[in-house]
Structure 1
Amino acid sequence: MGARIAAYDWSTTGVGAIAQWSQSLRSIVAFLVNSPVPLVMLWGEDGHLIYNDGYSAFAGERHPGLLGMKVLEAWPEVADLNAHVMRVGLAGGTLAYRNHRLKLNRTGVFEDCWLDLDYSPVFDDDGHPAGVMAVVVETTESVLAEQALRKSEARLRFLDALDRDTGRATDPLEILAITTAKLAEHLGASNCAYADMDADGAGLTIRGDWVRPGLPSTVGHYQFAAFGEQAVRELSAGRPLILDDNAIELPEHEAAAFQAIRIAATCCMPLVKDGRLIALMAAHHDEPHVWTADEVALIREVTDRSWAHVERAAAEAELRKTAIQLRELNAELETRATERAAALEQSRTQFRLLVQGVTDYAIYMLDPDGIVASWNAGAQRIKGYAPDEIMGAHFSTFYHEEDRAAGEPQRALETARRQGRFAAEGWRMRKGGVRFRASVVLDAIHDDDGKLIGFAKITRDITEREEAQRELEVAREALFQSQKIEAIGQLTGGVAHDFNNLLMAIMSGLTLLRKRLPEDDAQITRLIDNSLQAADRGAALTQRMLAFARRQELKTERIDVPALVADMRGLLERTIGPAWRIEMDFPDRLPAVSGDVNQLEMALVNLAVNARDAMPDGGLICIRGVEREVIGEVRGLTSGHYVRMTVSDEGTGMDAATLARATEPFFTTKGVGKGTGLGLSMIHGFARQNGGMLEIESEAGRGTHAHIWLPVAGEFARPAVTVLRNVVGRAATRSLVVLVADDDPLVLMNTADLLTDLGHKAIEAESGAAALDQLAAREDIALLITDQAMPGMTGTELIAHVRARRPELPIILATGYGETPAEAAEHLLRLNKPFTQADLERAVADAMLQRV
């Protein structure tokens, strides 16, 4: 690249001819050219590209055309990122990204790539920033490998658990029953079944199945042809039958056979031996379902393993049967000497054929000195040696050199010789020096006179089982933590709801009491005001608890994130103080998101305060947003378009242990009295309730990046608006007869007192039924205020009865958290508990204005 840079006509660019280059520029280019690290320098305000050989390899087919180009023109697909880099670098700042995903065109097509990016300013002879030096290291291969590993972990854990359960079973029908139940549970299928074919292939019998409760069993005999030509053709040829929706993919009369047994989608695997279809295993859904390649592969793997276990159980049963036969033969040989030789030879033949037919176990004989005397197909498959390669060799060949030096092979022989059996698990060697984990049994064999004639050796490869067991323990711990957090959330939501009712009674009582005090009693007034402030703080705390539990009422709207954050800038600057700078970075056409604007504002304030607290001496807080597309399920997010808002700081950061607990309720690293521990858990609950998530990246000493993911708003989402109105509407200035329904006596009484103090007449009802009785008895009732969570009849059920009788009656639903059914929420005027007298007054005015 040095020669290419020297030959380039730089006079046509803003860099200028090489002869005119400053000493600092010459030094930087010399350093860049001789560095083995992929480096590119963006020189001048336009960021003209000067790079080395390492970067040219990264640039692919875009090299050498990139040399000397302006960075925004060189890489137009990431122009926004590079514009930000130039602004920060020329201002003397640095940037760093790890495993940053970009979509680049390096070979004529756009492709996703992941990069580690580090940007630093470079200076001219006067010490001023004159450009940006970028270190570009591609990490695409490692990122994709990690994603593939996570995908396979769940599959390995399931297969290990299935192998353990079926490995303990000795009955083939029990093995198949365990397999179908576990496979159905793992896939979420409505039915899993196994069947065998009639000898003539014309029919099949489903011997056993697992079905979801409420669905009929499919056990029974069926005509094969009834399931259609496609089923017969594919399965008879040894190919799986895969139907996502039989109502669409099959003729009506063929689909009817599946639908008669409540099957809409099926994935059926055949077992073919000697060219003949002999058995089937299938998973079904009672609704249409698109089978993925991973699901089909898993069903095929489970089918193969289950039949292997069935064959193993059959082989073990045959072994037991043969052992019984051998004992009977030995007893018979004592009395039938003339038949002894023939019977013994027959027994040996049967045993040899049986052992040779087993492939899941290495079964072979050793002479008394440990020399291999026989070798079955399973031994060849597991250990890799053909019979002519290993027979005559000492069995210590299968041990590692260190174990041989320690005398392990001899110890095994001595134990079996002395005790009759040696059993152990350990590492053994295959042909070629590859280690595997083995379960080993060594039995001593004696003749009729008790003389040792050799040893029977059985080896099983358990490498996959050991590895999967370790992975399973990790998954169990993660599941336990998830269940713990869910239980805390349920408890927190319930406590917060009841606490809202208590706060409602306290706040309304204090409000009325304050209005009845003499104005000159300053001490009592101050005590009441302090109590009201404490109640307000308690209400705010319950909102955080409800947010964590995902049970607060959300008003989902279309939110323009850049406009919202811009409007909040002044609030954020006043909240965190002058020692902390706020920088905002949003693309020009960032799509709107769907969410509750008030909850989002609270979340951003919380994150800004956390960032401030992480930098006690001041610093930079960055708020940025980008659009992201999720394909498949990623960390709990479903497929779709999202906006990711990020609040970043350069503070103390968190270590791995703290980060793992960051969103736990009531967990805080702040001092006593400086935090409730509900901030991040509230944001976590709010994001989840809105269909997104909270993601936190942090390292000790390297700052924190908190990402709020929210779904992009749909075309018909309601825009967030601000409604200006009078405190009290004209329709509420007259005295009204108001019916109040609430099962909590304290809330009922205090709500009625607040209404009476406003000049209205309140009629109390302690249940929905009592409210209907009052409504039937009084024609002068002008307004209904009802709680939602009441025993016997909920608020929305009461409202349905009232609207059937008096559809014109204004109604207010007063509730403590988001318990309103979604279909009713849009048509109700809501009053959130705990409410103040002013809130109640406004709600009454709004209700009467709606009537007008």
Structure 2
Amino acid sequence: MTSNTADPRQLDSWIGESARAIRDFDWSTTPLGPIDTWPQVLRSAVQIMLRNALPMAVLWGEEGTLLYNDAYAQFSGGRHPEILGMPIERAWPEAAAFNRNVVESGLRGETLSYLDIDFVLPRAGREAHVWLDLHYSPIASDEGMPLGVLAVVVETTVRVTLERTRAEAEAAFRAADERLQLALNSGAVLGTFVWEIQHNRVKGDERFARTFLFSLEQVTAGLPIERAFDIIHPDDYERITSLIARTVRENTSYRAEYRIRTAESGWTWIMASGRCEYDESGRPMRFPGVIIDIHDRKVAEEKLRELTHDLEDKIAEAVAARTAVEAQLRQSLKMEALGAMTGGVAHDFNNTLQAISGNLQLLQYLPPTDKRVPERLQAAMDAVQRGAKLASQLLSFARRQPQSPVVINPRRLFDELRELLQHAVGASVTIGTMIVEEPWNFCVDRNQLENALLNLAINARDAMRGDGKFLLASSNEVLDAAACEGKELRPGEYVRLSASDTGTGMPPEVLERAFEPFFTTKPEGHGTGLGLSMVFGFVKQSGGHIAVSSTVDVGTTVDIFFPRSHDDETATPRADALMTQTGGATVLVVDDDASVLSSTVAILEAMRYTVLRAANGDAAMSVLESGVHVDLILTDVVMPGKVSCADLAEWAFSQTRPVPVIYASGYTRDMISRDSVLRPNVTLLNKPYRAETLAREIAAALNG
């Protein structure tokens, strides 16, 4: 049984200033009540919140009672710790309407996200604008009822500020470019020049003289071009001289941006453009050009590059931090789900054990002749079967159930199952079938498939409240890449089995959790919540895909896809009666569990078999090698020692007259199967088993 009261050791694991504040707070004055009466779902949510680095808060109940972690306390500024335990609307009165909507939406099971919301908060002793991403998710009870809201706060002030600064820089760049265009259009240039190539003389106007730090007389008379190169920035010199040489050599247009020294010994950006002119014989003669000031534009471009680089770094850091927090949150939620599953398994198995224990204890007080003895024995056996079914469902969900696949034809399957399904759903439910004219075969474990379809039929019966129509359909499907997307299937040929009902259907929030283990909408005691989980595990283990669609008040359809098999249908064994007579043979029983070994030996001796016993594989091999005659080996799968069950089977099959072997196990863990498919030479008896089942398997093995 699980407890709804707080575990002190769990509370002690809450670390941090906010955790201590929560433990020390007098919650009896709030709607939450004393902390040791909090429900498990609230304690789990608080534990997840306290372990996260992002600012997180829990808004609990209709009042939105506020609990938060250390990061949220720092984010809230001077309001901490007074706002702890307050209704959220009182804690943040300036956003009362906003937070009221958050609480009401969360209690309706809705999620909310707000990006880059502008708030004014106290920072460094003064009010400051901050920008936040706010994410709100409902916190639901085990029954799916929303009880509170989990709030995650991600501050985006740095990114928003950088984006705004970048926008301002881009605007400045555009303005500088516009000024450049105006300068060009209006003739506001830094000068014009002509390079007379044959005489290597550069001449220019007054503006050119000022730009290149010459006198007007010098540029009027002309200067060698090397004198103009003297003020080019060293980092740009080689590039510019090479570009001028190529322009002269190849008759291409000249356009270059570079830095030159100013009169104040600084550097300024210019753009030079021009073109070489040639004489009739093709010799270069003149190189006229113009100099334009582009300094403001280049400065703006550099600033924009720096801001872009900083923004990319900040965004990468923010994304990495958020990814790490999300991974931590997913791990926390995974562990919470595992805890819920463990609790569900413990609850159901404890109920089963109690039923067995109660009936066995009652038998201690009843004389053997009491008419209630058979009834109590049957009740204990029924409880054992319920426990075995629960274990089988868990193995199917975990995809650990050993399989014996056979090739199945849908038409024969439906014909043979119809009567069984009709008994399961009742006479008031109409069962229909729809099959293509030439259905394809597929290969799966027949028993597990029948159990899966039986589960779907029972779910449909409950959804229709025992009155409606249940339809089984089969079709041949060729799926391309687009159809396989999101289905974990490869393109190819598939057999689709569909089970549809005319029941109440499922709303989206229930449909989303349909395959979740231990999730059920049935009343307490009317279902474990493992039915669809078992079907899901079996289908995935068989290499298939399962999907559910449902509409409230219309019905539900479950589609299962299995790969097509081109092999012939597996022949159904003849219904010859197995020899069930007992006795007359020697059986070696091997099991490391003393109580299981003792009870099995007693059952076989009661069936008049000669029984040898061994507590492990090593002892069993000693018995076999002693020369004693053995007709059959019944062995557990997982045992201590050097000799395994596979070693015993190897000895048995190597004899001149092979000795049949039966494995008995509750969980094989791939000891006797590859890819969860049983080996051909293995007979498996699943624990727990009934005496008559044991007798039938031994008789079949001895007569095989």
**TM-score, with structure 2 as normaliser:** 0.50
Please give the alpha-carbon distance, in whole angstroms, between the structure 2 residues aligned to 1:529 and 1:724.
29
RMSD (CA atoms): 5.0
Does structure 1 retain, via aligned residues, the 8 Å contact 2:501–2:555?
yes
Match of 1:752 among 601, 607, 626: 601
**Deviation (angstroms), 1:674:** 1.4
Match of 2:688 among 823, 834, 839: 834
Point out where structure 1 has 5 or more consecutive residues left out of the alignment.
1-340, 357-362, 366-372, 377-387, 399-420, 423-438, 443-457
Match of 2:666 among 796, 812, 816: 816
Letter in 1 for 2:683: L
Match of 2:520 among 668, 688, 711: 668
Match of 2:182 in 1: none
- The secondary structure found in structure 2 opposite 1:564 is helix
Cα deviation digits, residues 661-696 of structure 1 (max 9, x gap): 221211112221111111011001111121212211
Alignment CA distance shift 1:462-1:524 (3 Å): same
Please give the alpha-carbon distance, in whole angstroms, between the structure 2 residues aligned to 1:559 and 1:474.
48
Match of 1:726 in 2: 578
Match of 2:108 in 1: none
Alignment CA distance shift 1:593-1:760 (3 Å): same
Cα deviation digits, residues 290-348 of structure 1 (max 9, x gap): xxxxxxxxxxxxxxxxxxxxxxxxxxxxxxxxxxxxxxxxxxxxxxxxxxx99985456
Match of 1:802 in 2: 652
Match of 1:644 in 2: 496
1:612-691 equivalences in 2 (<5 Å): 612-616=461-465, 618-631=467-480, 634=485, 635-691=487-543
Letter in 1 for 2:593: D
Please give the alpha-carbon distance, in whole angstroms, between the structure 2 residues aligned to 1:662 and 1:751.
40
Letter in 1 for 2:411: P
- The secondary structure found in structure 1 opposite 2:578 is coil
Alignment CA distance shift 1:572-1:527 (3 Å): same
State the aligned residue count. Answer: 419
Is 1:608 aligned to residue 436 of structure 2?
no
Match of 2:379 in 1: 530
**Deviation (angstroms), 1:395:** 11
Please give the alpha-carbon distance, in whole angstroms, between the structure 2 residues aligned to 1:653 and 1:364.
75
Alignment CA distance shift 1:779-1:476 (3 Å): same
Cα deviation digits, residues 780-830 of structure 1 (max 9, x gap): 322211112223333122211333356432222222245323497212233
- The secondary structure found in structure 1 opposite 2:589 is strand
Please give the alpha-carbon distance, in whole angstroms, between the structure 2 residues aligned to 1:389 and 1:526.
107
Does structure 2 retain, via aligned residues, the 8 Å contact 1:737–1:763?
yes
**Deviation (angstroms), 1:763:** 1.5
Please give the alpha-carbon distance, in whole angstroms, between the structure 2 residues aligned to 1:603 and 1:801.
38
Please give the alpha-carbon distance, in whole angstroms, between the structure 1 residues aligned to 2:387 and 2:292.
80
Does structure 2 retain, via aligned residues, the 8 Å contact 1:557–1:719?
no
**Deviation (angstroms), 1:836:** 0.9
Cα deviation digits, residues 252-271 of structure 1 (max 9, x gap): xxxxxxxxxxxxxxxxxxxx
**Deviation (angstroms), 1:638:** 2.9
Is 1:715 aligned to residue 564 of structure 2?
no
Cα deviation digits, residues 155-200 of structure 1 (max 9, x gap): xxxxxxxxxxxxxxxxxxxxxxxxxxxxxxxxxxxxxxxxxxxxxx
Letter in 1 for 2:701: A
Match of 2:136 in 1: none
Alignment CA distance shift 1:711-1:784 (3 Å): same
Match of 1:573 in 2: 422
Please give the alpha-carbon distance, in whole angstroms, between the structure 2 residues aligned to 1:667 and 1:776.
52
**Deviation (angstroms), 1:616:** 3.2
**Deviation (angstroms), 1:561:** 1.6
Please give the alpha-carbon distance, in whole angstroms, between the structure 2 residues aligned to 1:375 and 1:717.
84
**TM-score, with structure 1 as normaliser:** 0.42
Does structure 1 retain, via aligned residues, the 8 Å contact 2:407–2:567?
no
Does structure 2 retain, via aligned residues, the 8 Å contact 1:558–1:720?
no
Alignment CA distance shift 1:833-1:393 (3 Å): same
Letter in 1 for 2:502: E
Letter in 2 for 1:671: P
Q: Which has the higher contact order (CA 8 A, sep 6+)?
A: 2
Please give the alpha-carbon distance, in whole angstroms, between the structure 2 residues aligned to 1:708 and 1:737.
46
Is 1:844 aligned to residue 698 of structure 2?
yes
Please give the alpha-carbon distance, in whole angstroms, between the structure 2 residues aligned to 1:755 and 1:600.
32
- The secondary structure found in structure 1 opposite 2:654 is helix
Alignment CA distance shift 1:534-1:394 (3 Å): same
% identical equivalent positions: 32
**Deviation (angstroms), 1:544:** 0.9
- The secondary structure found in structure 2 opposite 1:658 is helix
Cα deviation digits, residues 555-606 of structure 1 (max 9, x gap): 2111122222233223323322344332221111111221112211111121
Please give the alpha-carbon distance, in whole angstroms, between the structure 1 residues aligned to 2:393 and 2:538.
9
Alignment CA distance shift 1:808-1:727 (3 Å): closer
- The secondary structure found in structure 1 opposite 2:658 is coil
Is 1:349 aligned to residue 244 of structure 2?
no
1:459-478 equivalences in 2 (<5 Å): none
1:352-431 equivalences in 2 (<5 Å): none
- The secondary structure found in structure 2 opposite 1:712 is strand
Please give the alpha-carbon distance, in whole angstroms, between the structure 1 residues aligned to 2:334 and 2:461.
30
Does structure 2 retain, via aligned residues, the 8 Å contact 1:597–1:720?
no
Does structure 1 retain, via aligned residues, the 8 Å contact 2:507–2:552?
yes
Cα deviation digits, residues 457-493 of structure 1 (max 9, x gap): x668959988x969x969977995999599969x98x
Letter in 2 for 1:636: E
Does structure 2 retain, via aligned residues, the 8 Å contact 1:813–1:829?
yes
**Deviation (angstroms), 1:702:** 4.5
Cα deviation digits, residues 107-129 of structure 1 (max 9, x gap): xxxxxxxxxxxxxxxxxxxxxxx
**Deviation (angstroms), 1:618:** 3.2
Alignment CA distance shift 1:701-1:397 (3 Å): farther
Does structure 2 retain, via aligned residues, the 8 Å contact 1:796–1:824?
no
Point out where structure 2 has 5 or more consecutive residues left out of the alignment.
1-227, 244-257, 261-267, 272-290
Match of 2:638 in 1: 789
Please give the alpha-carbon distance, in whole angstroms, between the structure 2 residues aligned to 1:630 and 1:690.
18
Please give the alpha-carbon distance, in whole angstroms, between the structure 1 residues aligned to 2:293 and 2:498.
64
Match of 2:584 in 1: 735
Match of 2:621 in 1: 772
Match of 1:546 among 379, 395, 420: 395
**Deviation (angstroms), 1:758:** 0.7
**Deviation (angstroms), 1:393:** 8.4
**Deviation (angstroms), 1:727:** 5.0
Does structure 2 retain, via aligned residues, the 8 Å contact 1:485–1:664?
no
Letter in 1 for 2:664: A
Cα deviation digits, residues 239-263 of structure 1 (max 9, x gap): xxxxxxxxxxxxxxxxxxxxxxxxx
- The secondary structure found in structure 1 opposite 2:595 is helix
Alignment CA distance shift 1:614-1:473 (3 Å): farther
